[in-house]
A and B are shown apart, each in its own frame.
Chain A
Amino acid sequence: QKEVEQDPGPLSVPEGAIVSLNCTYSNSAFQYFMWYRQYSRKGPELLMYTYSSGNKEDGRFTAQVDKSSKYISLFIRDSQPSDSATYLCAMRGNTGGFKTIFGAGTRLFVKA
């Protein structure tokens, strides 16, 4: 079993839809939870960075962490064609060195 599981998609939605992207994990030691956006043939870009449980909002993006269920989500409101990309979840613990575990990514297509 992988430490971090992420549905690869692809996920296709119409412009303006609310998008929900999710990851599950198995290691209860994870404390930092991140979402990255990666356009084709580019490096990932850090979108959201949260510590422990709860919600964090930044513009059209909301990150949720439910540590009791070992489940994290990224919501995108009013999705735009420019949001079409691969979204990677990632997480790291407080101990054990500087090691981040990445999900394989979900490919999102937003149709105009």
Chain B
Amino acid sequence: DGGITQSPKYLFRKEGQNVTLSCEQNLNHDAMYWYRQDPGQGLRLIYYSQIVNDFQKGDIAEGYSVSREKKESFPLTVTSAQKNPTAFYLCASSPAGVNTEAFFGQGTRLTVV
């Protein structure tokens, strides 16, 4: 089955640690996105990538980093510079010509302990 796989489902981070969230898609989609979801707020864009080896900052990129070395993979690193990282993180993808996030993964819930 085609889709987006995010792992892990739950992640715990200690203060000062960097952690990497995985996002893999087998839909052959060009565009991939990372969003953060907090209670009572809409999804906020962290980073997006329209093509391999290229990515752009979203509205809340500070404290996060990404790479897009392969079309199917778009990992997100939450660095120690992100002061409030506890949130639900969602990865999405869309094919060329579709002006929206067509598919989302099941999310990773990150908690700082």
**Are B107 and A41 interface neighbours, CB within 8 A?**
yes
A94 to B45: give the CA distance in the assembly, Å: 17
Q: Which residue of B lies closest to A32 (CB)?
A: B99
- Contact of B69 with A by CB under 8 A: no
Q: Which of A12-20, A57-65, A75-83, A97-105 lies at the binding interface?
A: A97-105
User: Please, which residues of chain B bring their CB within 8 A of the CB of A66?
Assistant: none
Q: B87 CB to closest chain A CB, in angstroms?
A: 13
User: Please, which residues of chain A bring their CB within 8 A of the CB of B102?
Assistant: 46
Residues A46 and B43 in contact in the complex (CB < 8 Å), given A41-B107, A98-B31, A98-B50: no
Q: A28 CB to closest chain B CB, in angstroms?
A: 17
**Are A46 and B101 interface neighbours, CB within 8 A?**
yes
**Are A42 and B106 interface neighbours, CB within 8 A?**
yes
Q: A63 CB to closest chain B CB, in angstroms?
A: 13
- Contact of A54 with B by CB under 8 A: no
A42 to B105: give the CA distance in the assembly, Å: 8
User: Please, which residues of chain A bring their CB within 8 A of the CB of B105?
Assistant: 43
A100 to B99: give the CA distance in the assembly, Å: 9
Q: B92 CB to closest chain A CB, in angstroms?
A: 8
**Are B104 and A44 interface neighbours, CB within 8 A?**
yes
- Contact of B41 with A by CB under 8 A: yes
**Are B45 and A100 interface neighbours, CB within 8 A?**
yes
**Are A34 and B100 interface neighbours, CB within 8 A?**
yes
**Are A32 and B100 interface neighbours, CB within 8 A?**
yes
Q: A104 CB to closest chain B CB, in angstroms?
A: 5
Interface residues of B (CB under 8 A from A): 4, 6, 31, 33, 40-43, 45, 48, 50, 56, 58, 88, 90, 92, 98-107, 109
Question: What 20 new A-B contacts, CB under 8 Å, besides A49-B100, A101-B42?
Answer: A32-B100, A41-B88, A41-B109, A42-B106, A43-B92, A43-B107, A44-B90, A46-B100, A46-B101, A88-B43, A90-B100, A92-B100, A98-B31, A100-B100, A100-B101, A102-B42, A103-B42, A104-B41, A104-B42, A105-B42
